[in-house]
Amino acid sequence: GQNIDQPTEMTATEGAIVQINCTYQTSGFNGLFWYQQHAGEAPTFLSYNVLDGLEEKGRFSSFLSRSKGYSYLLLKELQMKDSASYLCAVSDSNYQLIWGAGTKLIIKP
Amino acid sequence: GAVVSQHPSRVICKSGTSVKIECRSLDFQATTMFWYRQFPKQSLMLMATSNEGSKATYEQGVEKDKFLINHASLTLSTLTVTSAHPEDSSFYICSARGTSGREEQFFGPGTRLTVL
């Protein structure tokens, strides 16, 4: 079967760095996405990785290792507004997105 | 980035009535649109995938006669919840994927449906 695993909840301190991991087992791979979702709102796109390596975009970076079925989202200089759920999703062989359950990130002052 | 709108943003209806939700891609052509449902504190659940001009593909367990999907144009898809019941109360979100070759989905703002 297809499976995406990510931690349910993480807590970090304002100004710090946090890494959210995602492991996946899917039938085929056409890229991995990270989305941010604030409570009561729709997800917003953060990053897309289809090749191995690190993609940096401002305070957010995303890493992919296809051989390990592993990705992480790195958030630097955390701000209170970064408190949200972070969803990992993999595009399978049919370009269907398989969603993880999301990681709720709590930022403390 | 691409913009997807959804209307209405919030709807309250009586049990047994039908509710139509519209999803529009405003500045790009969406060959594929997706409808998701999300219950509180849970992840997104894909309900169906619709391609312009063809019948929607429903996920297992989703009743196609209850959740009618029409993707009549490259910029509009509609979801109609027929004979709504309180258990249909949820957050319904659409997303659209364009023809640019990138596979990311752009999400609408969601519709909060409450069935009394």
Q: H or E stretch including B79?
A: strand B76-81
* Average confidence (pLDDT) over B65-93: 94
- List, for chain A, all residue ranges whose pLDDT scores fall below the cut of 70: none
The residue that leads in pLDDT, B75 or B42, is B75
Least Cα distance to A42 among B91, B41, B60 occurs for B91
pLDDT in tens, B21-68: 999 999 888 888 999 999 887 888 999 999 888 889 999 999 999 999
How far is residue A56's CA from residue B64's CA, in Å, rounded to a whole number?
41
Question: What's the pLDDT score for residue B100?
Answer: 61
- Residue B31 touches partner A, C-beta closer than 8 Å: no
Q: pLDDT digit string (tens) for A27-41?
A: 899 999 999 999 889
Instruction: Flag whether pLDDT at B98 surpasses 80.
Output: no
Shortest Cα distance from A88 to chain B (angstroms)? 10
pLDDT at B101 over 60: no
d(CA A107, CA A86): 13
Under 8 Å between Cβ of B103 and B96: no
Write out the DSSP string of A40-99: TS--EEEEEE-SSEEEEETTEEEEEETTTTEEEEEE-S--GGG-EEEEEEEE-TTSPEEE
> For B56, what's the count of Cα atoms within 13 Å in the CB-facing half-sphere?
26
CA–CA distance, A106 with B18 (Å, rounded to integer): 38
Instruction: Point out the residue among B46, B103, B108 whose CB comes nearest to the CB of A42.
Output: B108
Q: How close is the nearest chain A Cα to the Cα of B43, in Å?
A: 5
